Amino acid sequence: MAVSLLTGQVSDLCLGKPALKSLSISSTIGDALLALKRLGENFISIWSCDQHHHNLSAVDRGFKECQCVGKVCMVNIICFLCKEENLSNPATALQTPLSVLIPTSPCLVRHLEPKASLLDAIDLIQEGAQNLVIPLESSSKTLSRKKLVQGTLSNISTLHNNNRQYCWLTQEDIIRYLLNSIGLFCPTAANPINSLDIIDTRNKMALHYDNPASSALPFISRSLEIQASVAIVDSDGKLVREISPFTLNYCDEDVAAAIATLSAGDLLAYVDCGGPPEDLVQLVKKRLQERNLEQALELVEEYSSGASISTSYSSSSSDDEFGMGRSARWMGYSARAVRRSEAIVCYPWSSLVAVMIQALTRRVSYVWVVDDDGTLAGIYIVL
């Protein structure tokens, strides 16, 4: 029965999945920023074809076969803006081609045919893929939704390769599917994780509470790749909290200034739901002034006064349908449905099934492993 589970088709997991909204790789980082805010998406897919000419062949447009080459989220943009040269002129930085944010190796996003087996999908994820792009059956409803999206943002498309629509499967989708049949894997599911040799003690990314938040940037980028977080520890090595890409993904681009000027501990308070404390906002402004980062200072002042880059664009009747109603970025800090940055933890003797349920409940793919006294021992990444 376990064999039949793994040989099932990935199309079984695509039922009810929405069509991917996408941008061309020829777009700018500013285009991606606007799309993420207007559509309320956590990620937007990036394709090698020109979305304005989706009815033409990819070869006619000078591209190879039209395919998804990556994805972009707010964390990518925030990390990009944290660079000194970009922080000094954020407006110019946002005009940079989107291609600079896409890894040269397309391993994070992979294409897969609907008839491929679940085992094929798991193999790709174990090779490093985070999202599997699967073709969807077209329908008049999805086509009408596509037209509505393009009426809102003209450079957004959901159609590629002869008007085909696509969805993507994530690690979470596959984990949930497997967890529904966890009984097939007994007794492994009931075993403690320290008996299964799945606790990673070498790749735990940790930073001291008082260290500059900017020193976490390489860890943040890496944690986005492996879908984990950066642990924040005290002087005794005990886990305090975490800097999570999940949390940063619901922030605005002004957080780049906070990362560049605050300690790791202060950054946690800055990004927590409810908005940054006024004293930290003033501290960020002061340090930006000291470093003569005037344009970054203007950006922080715009957001602290309630303005943002997105306010120059009017809303439309389709906003709620495509996520605008739940868009944390669009509505501002006061309406954010963002969890605080408490770390999700388990113990070495916790059972595999308990840890998996804990991860899925919090919609993450990792759990920190701590000893009895709270000392960070390692991390368990579910897939």
| Structure confidence by residue, pLDDT tens digits, 25-69 | 999 999 999 999 998 888 999 998 765 544 333 344 444 578 899
Whether residue 229 is found in the same domain as residue 350: yes
With respect to residue 320, please indicate whether it lies within any of the assigned structural domains.
Answer: no
| Structure confidence by residue, pLDDT tens digits, 212-264 | 999 999 999 999 988 899 999 999 999 999 999 989 998 999 999 999 999 99
Torsion of CA 303, 307, 308, 310, to 10 degrees: 160
Dist CA 146 CA 140 (whole Å): 10
Whether residue 99 is found in the same domain as residue 201: no
Tokens representing 377 are: 């021992």
| DSSP-derived 3-state class of residue 109 | strand
Whether residue 216 is found in the same domain as residue 126: no
Whether residue 349 is found in the same domain as residue 268: yes
With respect to residue 323, please indicate whether it lies within any of the assigned structural domains.
Answer: no
Whether residue 163 is found in the same domain as residue 72: yes
How many Å separate Cα 373 from the centre of its chain? 31
With respect to residue 314, please indicate whether it lies within any of the assigned structural domains.
Answer: no
Whether residue 134 is found in the same domain as residue 211: no
Whether residue 133 is found in the same domain as residue 278: no
Whether residue 106 is found in the same domain as residue 20: yes
User: For the chain, what is the largest distance between any 2 Cα atoms, rounded to a whole number of angstroms?
Assistant: 65
Whether residue 89 is found in the same domain as residue 125: yes
With respect to residue 332, please indicate whether it lies within any of the assigned structural domains.
Answer: no
- φ, ψ of residue 255 to 5 degrees: the values are -65, -25
Q: What mean pLDDT comes out for the span 352-365? A: 88
pLDDT of 157 over the 80 cut: no
Whether residue 163 is found in the same domain as residue 204: no
Among candidate residues 73, 49, 71, the one with its CA nearest the CA of residue 62: 49
With respect to residue 353, please indicate whether it lies within any of the assigned structural domains.
Answer: yes
How many Å separate Cα 340 from the centre of its chain? 16
With respect to residue 144, please indicate whether it lies within any of the assigned structural domains.
Answer: no
pLDDT of 164 over the 50 cut: yes
What is the extent of the structural domain holding 268? 193-306+339-381
